Structure 1
Amino acid sequence: MKLKCVAIDDEPLALELVAKFISQTAFLELVSTFENAIEALSFLNQEEVHLVFLDIQMPDLSGMELARILDGKQGKFKPRIIFTTAYNHFAIEGYKVEALDYLLKPFSYEEFFKSATKAFQFFEEKENHLSANIASPSEYIFLKVEYQLIKILLKDIQVIEAYKDYVKVHLQGKTSPILSLTSLKNMEEMLPNDRFMRVHRSFIIGLDHIDAVVRNTVHIGDTVITVSENYKESFMDFLNKWIA
């Protein structure tokens, strides 16, 4: 497997260095370079690219603005990003657009190779996950936790809780929840609706883990969750079947 790469930087020498590093890496394939993010966006809207090495401080359209556009891209294929920048204060913003890594200039080939390897492992894991889903219904999902993909068994998920820009996934047998940068809506779409239900704007519950229902509250272990008005009807439908 080779990752198709694009390098974007308005500094010619920096762009040349990244292109050289890509060419020296056996599992990477350089398909194009750009000194302008707007031109790069036009290319990325037409071509399938795995990985974008992206500078942040650029005129007209900054690397972070381009990253936000790419992060919102719909469809099966969405390029991933490794930022290459001289400024370290963009790390949190990079995390929000799910960048795979953050290379601080000037960086060596060794540092570049570590980031490239992380990207290769990400796509390899993703490919294996897709193959597994095609072969049989999945009993697990992958969640992005920091810069890793973590495999989560569906049977272990008790409660999913919205927390700012993240979700907290509470797992059976674990004392601390997993924190993942995604939305409750994305989680709701990802999970099978015969095993999970949204009962509140801030909570999804694992139906198999319900210990008790008391009036309009659900008890899962020590956690008590109120079923809000917007979700009460669908929850009562489930409850009537459960009682039957």
Structure 2
Amino acid sequence: MDKLNCIVVDDENMGRKLLEENVRQLPFLHLVASCKNAFEAMEVLQTQTVDLIFLDIQMPGMLGTQFLQTLKEKPLTILVTAYDHYAVESYELDVVDYLMKPVSIERFSLAAHKALELFQNKKSKLEAAPKVVNQEIQAPEDFFFVNVEYALVRISIPQITHIEGLKDYVKIYLEGEKRPILTKLTMKSIEAKVTNHLFMRVHKSFIVNMRKIESIKQQRIKIGTFEIPVSDSHASELMEKLNFTRPS
């Protein structure tokens, strides 16, 4: 049986615990994370594969419906709330179901099975679809959102000059901005966001936009006033890529 990776998002501790318990009672659901607000959920979505969200609506900082509107690719979503006046708006967001608190396990199970059926139908269609050899290449998105001090901030990828890793955080340096954006992300996850935009990891702690490189001397890249080290393990690859992108 297919398993759906899911998260629960609810600012109330009791409501969150009840959702977690309901998830554990259904063998086709796998709880990836439990979040107190939309900002925690955003961090999980940036680092984990999530198929289904059980989402409260009335939360401090950002409503669940507002959170859904920020997502470019929405997982299947079941809204869970104590308020019925969000029903019309929720269905405009194409959610799987709308559950009113308190939620019985029977009603929860019905909604979860509906999500499972939608997931399996989508999977079957993808598997049955003929493979097209000469598919048109879709241009990658040129922006993404990050969580900065409980706000979602849009980052324009072409504006990034370089990225610096600091354990569980990264600093994103933007052209024309005096201060970098500090956000809780791993280097691996942000590298995946910019991988199709001529960015390169040149050091365990640095990713650079190759279009912004001004010069390289003694394995140090100059971008504006910054000098970025190039590790020995990345030096050869960097030279190869620069040769590849150099105009003929």
| TM-score after normalising by structure 2 | 0.56
Q: Which residue of 2 aligns with 1:58?
A: none
Q: Which residue of 1 aligns with 2:60?
A: 115
Contact 1:8/1:40, CA 8 A, preserved across alignment:
no
Q: Which residue of 2 aligns with 1:218?
A: 221
3-state SS in 1 of match to 2:173: strand
Please report how far the alpha carbon of residue 46 of structure 1 lies from its aligned counterpart in structure 2 after TM superposition.
3.2
Q: 1:197 to 1:113 in 2, by over 3 A?
A: same
Q: Which residue of 2 aligns with 1:33?
A: 18
Q: Which residue of 2 aligns with 1:167?
A: 170
Contact 1:166/1:181, CA 8 A, preserved across alignment:
yes
- Cα deviations across residues 89-116 of structure 1 (Å, max 9, x unaligned)? xxxxxxxxxxxxxxxxxxxxxxx93528
Q: Which residue of 1 aligns with 2:73?
A: 130
3-state SS in 1 of match to 2:63: helix
Aligned: 1:75 with 2:49: yes
Q: 1:115 to 1:220 in 2, by over 3 A?
A: same
In structure 2, C-alpha distance between the alignment counterparts of 1:241 and 1:136, rounded to whole Å:
20
3-state SS in 2 of match to 1:113: coil
Q: 1:81 to 1:170 in 2, by over 3 A?
A: farther
Q: 1:232 to 1:145 in 2, by over 3 A?
A: same
Q: 1:72 to 1:172 in 2, by over 3 A?
A: closer
The size of the alignment, in residue pairs, is 173
Amino acid of the structure 1 residue aligned with 2:65: F
Q: Which residue of 2 aligns with 1:183?
A: 186
Q: 1:198 to 1:5 in 2, by over 3 A?
A: closer
The sequence identity of aligned pairs, in percent, is: 27
CA RMSD for the aligned pairs?
Answer: 4.1
Contact 2:168/2:186, CA 8 A, preserved across alignment:
yes
3-state SS in 2 of match to 1:215: coil
Q: Counterparts in 2 of 1:18-167, with a 5 A limit?
A: 18=15, 33=18, 39-43=21-25, 46-47=28-29, 74-77=48-51, 79=53, 113-115=58-60, 117-126=62-71, 129-130=72-73, 137-167=140-170
Ranges in structure 2 where 5+ consecutive residues have no aligned partner = 1-6, 75-137
In structure 2, C-alpha distance between the alignment counterparts of 1:234 and 1:208, rounded to whole Å:
16
- Cα deviations across residues 46-77 of structure 1 (Å, max 9, x unaligned)? 3499x9676xxxxxxxxxxxx9xx88984342
- Cα deviations across residues 181-227 of structure 1 (Å, max 9, x unaligned)? 01111111111345100000000001111111113111000101111
- Cα deviations across residues 21-50 of structure 1 (Å, max 9, x unaligned)? xxxxxxxxxxx935xx5x44525773499x
Q: 1:145 to 1:7 in 2, by over 3 A?
A: closer
Q: Which residue of 1 aligns with 2:237?
A: 234
3-state SS in 1 of match to 2:147: strand
| TM-score after normalising by structure 1 | 0.57
